[in-house]
Amino acid sequence: MIRRNSIACISAVAVLLVATWRAEAAAFGPDMPAWMSPAAERAAEKTMVPPAEPAPDANVPDPLDSIRASVAKAEDQVQSDHPSDALSTIESALNALDQVPQSQPGAAALRDELGELKDRCEKQNAAEASLGADDGSDGEGSTMPKLRSIKPERNERVDKWIDFYTGRGRDQFQLWLVRSGSYMDLLARNLRAEGVPEELANLVFVESGFNMQARSMARAVGPWQFIRGTAKIFGLKMTPYVDQRRDPELATRAAARYLRRLYGMFDGSWPLALAAYNSGEGTVQRAIRRQGTDDYWSLRLPRETREYVPQFLAAMEIASNPDRYGFELPPNSPFRFDEVVVRGPVDLSLVSKVTEIPIDDLKALNPMFVRHRSPAGKDGTPLRVPHGKGDDVQTLLETNYKPKPLTRAELREASRAQRHELSYRPRRHHRGRHNTHLVRRGETLSEIGKRYGKTQATLVRLNRLPDGQVRAGQRLRLQ
């Protein structure tokens, strides 16, 4: 009994001591001396796990975000043909990237992307630097560095188009050959003046068939099929009254400068430069980057671009040896003219009446005029007339030509037409029923052509169908 009471007493004292220690620990707080802790408490402290580092604040911005924004800005500047501005943006982004640890996720990829952009800008700047020299409209004695000539190539894809042009497309190609007789000398002369191979004149077979008034569904215009944005970059003038994209001389100069730039951008590869002329340099650059090859013949490109270079090479082959392929040689009727100056408003109908030059001849010599009447130029308006008649026509204009100013209605109509042109956006899908035809089971190209008043050769050319075959569900262009 005494022993049990002793044990109970000892237990009570122990409880009192622990309670006293905890009270003192609470009084000391976290600064309690270690000697005050029981051995068990000190052992527990030795095995305690340190607290985890605080989680990063979600509101702290990623240091690479501003650099990514700079990359996007530089891309836009390159696509807008401002390589100098893009280089400045790239250098700033690279300097910022140097302040970021190399271990930062995404930093290495950004550095590679900036390096690639910098190379593109430097190539573009080099190409632009070579565009400066010009020797006038005679096209001789160019000081421009001469680029490598275009190598003829024959393979299955080229032979397919030669077979088509000499087969079902023969009549169409013969028409193009006849038209080319008026322009080939002029185009070759101006291409030489820009230092690019004169064989590039054969590209106009594929682009427009030597139709100065050609206009695509995407509203590319003229022999070289310039869209407005590209034409403006290369100095072609477009107003409600004049569209220099239609002018064989001025448009050829612009096309030569654009092709020279593309040649430099793609390291001297004419097939890649021509593919970029067709589909845009961005399309070709992305294909090269994604597919890991710069061989045009191996690249997977949009169908039209895949066929574009073989078409050009086939046209070049036939045009250089037309009699070998059974074509009639085009008549030698070079595009030659004298130039006069019209004071006051231009009225081609009145000029025709005063000078007795057929109005169709005036329109053919001056395809850049959008309408037959236009306002007066500040220093007069240049007008082309048949070769050898310049002096006589100038005298007649100065004595007998008295045009009326354009009416307000004429000015409003011209302005409205240009606004419509500028606001137009080509529709990539759901084209109008009058512009396309959905092929039904069992229909042939010949039947479709008869229905819409189109020749089979025209439909083949519009839809890049060298084999002339169509399939059910295919949508054909009609214009």
% pLDDT > 70, the chain: 77
On whether residue 251 sits in a domain, the answer given is yes
Who's near 142: CB < 8 A, 6+ residues apart?
A: 133, 135, 192, 193, 194, 195
For residues 161 and 295, membership in a common domain is answered with: yes
Are residue 233 and residue 377 in the same domain, yes or no?
Answer: no
Q: For 224-233, 414-423, 443-452, which range has the lowest pLDDT when averaged over its residues?
A: 443-452
Give the structural domain span for 2: 1-33
- CA 210 to CA 232: how far, in whole Å? 22
Cα Dmax for the chain: 151
Count of beta carbons in the 10 Å neighbourhood of residue 355? 22
Same domain, 167 and 299: yes
Question: What's the mean pLDDT in 366-370?
Answer: 95
3-state SS assignment for residue 241: coil
Which domain CATH number covers 244?
1.10.530.10
| Residues annotated catalytic, as ranges | 207
Parallel, antiparallel, or unpaired for β 373-374 and 381-386? Answer: unpaired
| Total count of domains within the chain | 5
In a shared domain, residues 11 and 76 = no
Q: Are residues 312 and 358 in the same domain?
A: no
Residue 167 lies in a domain: yes
228 shares its domain with 288: yes
Residues facing 215 on adjacent strands: 221
Q: What is the pLDDT of residues 275-303, one digit of tens each?
A: 999 999 999 999 999 999 999 999 999 99
The stretch 402-422 carries a mean pLDDT of 87
Q: Are residues 161 and 124 in the same domain?
A: no
The pTM of the whole model exceeds 0.85: no
Residues 267 and 206 both lie in one domain:
yes
Residue 331 lies in a domain: no
112 & 181 share domain = no
Q: Does some domain include residue 42?
A: no
Last residue of a domain, one of 325, 345, 364: 325
Does residue 38 sit within a domain?
A: no
| Nearest one of 236, 293, 58, 253 to 144, comparing CA atoms | 253
Mind listing the pLDDT tens digit for each residue in 75-87?
766 655 567 777 8
- The DSSP secondary structure of 252-265, one letter per residue, reads HHHHHHHHHHHHHH
Rounded CA separation 149/309 (Å): 15
- 466 residue type, one letter: P
pLDDT of residue 79: 58
Percent of the chain scoring above 90 in pLDDT: 50
Tokens describing residue 192:
């030489």
Domain boundary among 325, 359, 374: 325
**Are 290 and 206 members of one domain?**
yes
Inside any domain, residue 21: yes
> Do residue 347 and residue 399 come from a single domain?
yes
Same domain, 168 and 305: yes
Residue 43 within any structural domain of the chain: no
Does residue 306 sit in helix, strand or coil?
helix
Instruction: Among 274, 290, 325, give the residue marking a domain's end.
Output: 325
